[in-house]
């Protein structure tokens, strides 16, 4: 049977489900998200406050999300904090759908660019950002464990 993927904006009633989803994918980040703070605090402070979060669902379960931090009122730029897809649903174009949605959101809400960062050995993340026109802004060498660099990227709309 084919999985039907649905997309919609995050609502506060999704908090617990998104927390559970984060615990499924957090070790795919480098370093894992829970090394910085608890997942609950990460979700509260970085993903819910002043944010636009867009979800992918399969049979009403969250299987992916993207989060755009909203820096109003300046609107010079905004920042993708996180994008993650459940391992069983990767390479199916789901992050592409989510990314297209947040870029459209940022453009229609008057932001001049989107910034983000990832790590140098994240081929899938780098591939996703480059697919959407993000360019390397600057690199912080040896910023992460085991001499992995942080890569800062920007997608300018004008
Ligand atoms: C990065 C991630 C979000 C991609 O999600 P996805 O739904 O599999 O991505 P898509 O299928 O939409 O692919 C989009 C593009 O990403 C790139 N990509 C995806 N998986 C890749 C892989 N394994 N290797 C290289 N590039 C890859 C490709 O450029 C792809 O475009 P294409 O299919 O037209 O070639 C997913 O791998 C993930 O959740 N990784 C762990 C968390 C993470 O690294 N987040 C990003 C950093 S914040």
Is pLDDT at 15 greater than 90 in this prediction? Answer: yes
**The domain 5-111: what is its CATH number?**
3.40.630.30
Q: How far is CA 93 from CA 2, 97, 131, 140, in A?
A: 15, 7, 12, 29
Residue 96 CB less than 6 A away from ligand 1: yes
Whole-number Å distance, alpha carbon 74 to ligand 1 midpoint, is 30
| pLDDT value, residue 1 | 59
DSSP designation for 157: -
Cα–Cα distance measured from residue 125 to residue 95, given in angstroms and rounded to the nearest whole number: 10
128-139 pLDDT, tens digit each: 999 999 999 999
Q: Global pTM?
A: 0.96
Count of C-beta atoms within a 10 Å radius of residue 105: 18
Count of C-beta atoms within a 10 Å radius of residue 104: 10
29-44 pLDDT, tens digit each: 999 999 989 999 999 8
Contact 117/153 with Cβ under 8 angstroms? Answer: yes
The domain ranges of the chain are 5-111
Mutation test residue for ligand 1: of 42, 91, 149, the one with most atoms within 8 Å of CB: 91
């Amino acid at each position: 049977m084919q999985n039907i993927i649905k997309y919609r904006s995050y609502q506060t009633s999704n908090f617990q489900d998104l927390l559970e989803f984060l615990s499924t994918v957090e070790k795919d980040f480098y370093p894992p998200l829970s090394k910085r703070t608890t997942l609950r605090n990460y979700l509260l402070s970085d993903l819910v406050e002043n944010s636009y979060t867009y979800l992918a669902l399969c049979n009403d379960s969250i299987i992916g999300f993207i989060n755009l931090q909203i820096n109003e009122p300046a609107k010079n730029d905004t920042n993708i904090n996180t994008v993650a897809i459940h391992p069983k649903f990767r390479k199916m174009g789901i992050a592409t759908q989510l990314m297209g949605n947040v870029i459209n959101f940022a453009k229609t809400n008057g932001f001049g660019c989107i910034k983000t960062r990832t790590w140098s050995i994240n081929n899938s993340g780098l591939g996703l950002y480059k697919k959407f026109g993000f360019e390397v802004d600057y690199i912080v060498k040896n910023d992460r464990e085991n001499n992995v660099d942080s890569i800062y990227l920007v997608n300018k709309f004008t």
